[in-house]
Amino acid sequence: MNSKLPLFLFLLLSTFANAQETITINGSKPFPATQKYTFICEKYAFTGETNVQIAKTDKGGVLKLTIATANDKARIAGGLYVDLANGDVIACLDKNVKESAAGTTTSYYYFTPAEFLKLKKTDVYAIRFIIAGGPNTFGSQTGYFTTYNKMNYFSTAYDKSKKSYDTAKEISIL
Q: What is the mean pLDDT of the chain?
A: 84
30-53 pLDDT, tens per residue? Answer: 999 999 999 999 888 888 999 999
Which of 170, 156, 146, 167 has the alpha carbon at shortest distance from 50?
Answer: 146
5-26 pLDDT, tens per residue? Answer: 554 444 444 444 445 788 888 7
* Gap between the Cα atoms of 142 and 45, Å rounded: 10
pTM of the model: 0.82
According to DSSP, the residues that pair with 145 across neighbouring strands are 129
Hey, where are the domains in the chain? Answer: 35-173
Give burial (CB, 10 Å; 0-12/13-18/19+) of 3. Answer: exposed
| Statement: 35-173 belongs to CATH 2.60.40 | yes
